[in-house]
Amino acid sequence: MRSSACFTTALASTALVLLALPQAGHAAPCSFGIDPLAPTVTCGAPDSDPVSSAQDGLAVVVTSTGSVTSTNRNTPPLALGGTTVSVVNDGIIDNSDTRNNTDAIQATGSGLTIVNSGKISSGDRAIHALDGFGGGLVVTNLADGEITSRRQTIRTEGSAPGSVVTNYGTISSLEGRALQLRGQGTSVTNYGTLIGGEEVIEARDDFSLVNYGSIKIRDGVEDQDGVQFASGTVLNHGLIQGSDDGIDIDEGTITNTATGRIITTGSGGNGIDIDPEFDNSRDPLRPSGTVTIINAGYIEGPSAIGTDPAAQNRVEVYNSGTLVGRDSPAIALAPMQGDSLVSLSRDSQVFGDILFGGGNDVLEIKALSAGFLFDGQADGGAGQNTLRLTDYLLADIASFSLVDGVVQFALTSVAGETLGRFVNFDTWLLGDGTRYATRDLAAQFAPVPLPAGLPLMLAALGGLALLRRRTA
């Protein structure tokens, strides 16, 4: 092993602000480049000494034959404090200390880029941007890459905006979150596997998630969300699975494509759960804004879509896929929920009731191809509620009856008659713009009453016929 004096001389000659931290049992320090305009550190030997640097523009390379390791939480394998720093890891970066606040890669500067095709692991946190980190963490985990930890695997604090994580491999946590990204404007694209022992992903405001892979709570972990965030967008082509909620959202848009599945395996949450307050952990709490859910895939839970009982925001659901409420309404909005919309089209199938709240709500039925509407009841709740038959006319209504406030309804679709049961809808709006009150529409299908005197006249005629038969 080279002496500390050799390190000092090498560092002075290259104008690098670097510190190698020799540890007992380690093979060798990493080697330092000699070009001050492109400062580099290359770790090619097993069990190389940890590296600490505040150098701007530093590039750290861990080769496939190299590893940088530590057994002490006070000495991360990589402690990087400069700006525009990069790490390329084809080997191993590991801190085996299992105490809290143990990091494998620790960042205190800004603009850190990590590309991993090897293994990054820690007894607590694998990649940690500490308080004061200026933002711009970019992590790309390639197909062969593995990033693991006991608690938060990749964590940024609230002061670190603009994190970007792209995963083709595996990012997993044993007891905590795979991704805990608390800064504003974070972005995650997943093609691989994200596994959490708590929420798999926890984010804040202006969050963006595109998922083609699997985002899943570890088997046996109860009452935890797959994805939790304050505001932003989710575009899901793969699997998002929690044991409390599949996705927990304050406000924003969730799009679940035809291949997408959003599921909760638990008995107390929702496939998608909507919170009553916007909470980004920085600004004062306020009521949540609009939530829009576009589903062409599969969403399942005790309720497929549900809201906190205190929620009052607007909810818009556009469903052409499958919504399954195992134990409760498929869509369960809160009693004081604001003006909301549920639109059913194409292959829409809803297993369970649709329950609106206290707003002036709209249930829209567009062109259906599944021959099935829902197997429960749609309840408009309080307010002035409208059922809008966007692509249908009066002639397309096969039957319509109103008994004790409940409408039994059959609609002729391309797949045959579609049945439904409705309560608390005041207005029916047809595709040609014709508007009916519920009772007026029911009257269009009631039997035509006989004239008032006709029964008496028929009775009299019957009596005369009987008299003639007796006389004969």
Over residues 226-246, the pLDDT tens digits come to 999 999 999 999 999 999 999
pLDDT for 99 beyond 50? yes
Band of residue 457 on the pLDDT scale cut at 50, 70, 90: very low
The better pLDDT of the pair 413, 204 is held by 204
CA–CA separation, 465 and 207 (whole Å)? 85
Q: What is the pLDDT of residue 465?
A: 41
Q: Which amino acid is at 376?
A: G
pTM comes to 0.90
In a domain, 284, yes or no: no
Q: Which of 8-22, 132-146, 191-205, 416-430 has the lowest mean pLDDT?
A: 8-22
**Lowest-confidence region among 45-49, 370-374, 419-423:** 370-374
Residue 462 lies in a domain: no
Residue 326 lies in a domain: no
Which helix (H) or strand (E) is 414 found in, with range? none
Q: Are strands 435-437 and 397-403 parallel, antiparallel or unpaired?
A: unpaired
pLDDT for the residue 223: 96
Strand, coil or helix: 472:
coil
Query: Reduced to 3 states, what is the DSSP secondary structure of residue 13?
Result: helix
The parent domain of residue 77 ranges over: 1-198
Specify the number of domains making up the chain: 1
Q: What contacts 233, CB < 8 A, 6 or more positions away?
A: 207, 208, 209, 252, 253, 254, 255
Q: By three-state DSSP, how is residue 261 classified? A: strand
Q: Per this entry, what is the length of the chain?
A: 472
Beta bridge partners of 190: 167, 211
Q: Is the pLDDT of residue 11 over 60?
A: no
**Residue 145, in any domain of the structure:** yes
Q: Which helix (H) or strand (E) holds 233?
A: strand 227-236
Closest CA to 254 of 245, 244, 243: 245
Strand-strand pairing, 146-149 and 119-122: parallel
pLDDT number for residue 321: 97
> What is the reported pLDDT for 458?
40
> What is the average pLDDT across 418-436?
96
86: in domain: yes
What does the alpha-carbon distance between residue 172 and residue 55 come to, in Å, rounded to a whole number? 30
pLDDT at 322: 98
Specify if 127 maps to a domain. Answer: yes
pLDDT digits (tens, 9 = 90+) for 28-42: 789 988 787 889 999
State the Cα–Cα distance between residues 98 and 152, nearest whole angstrom.
12
63 has pLDDT over 90: yes
DSSP letter (8 states) at residue 468: H
Within-domain flag for 178: yes
User: Is residue 231 a part of any domain in this protein?
Assistant: no
Q: How confident is the model at residue 3 (pLDDT cuts 50, 70, 90)?
A: very low
Does the pLDDT of residue 78 top 80, yes or no?
A: yes
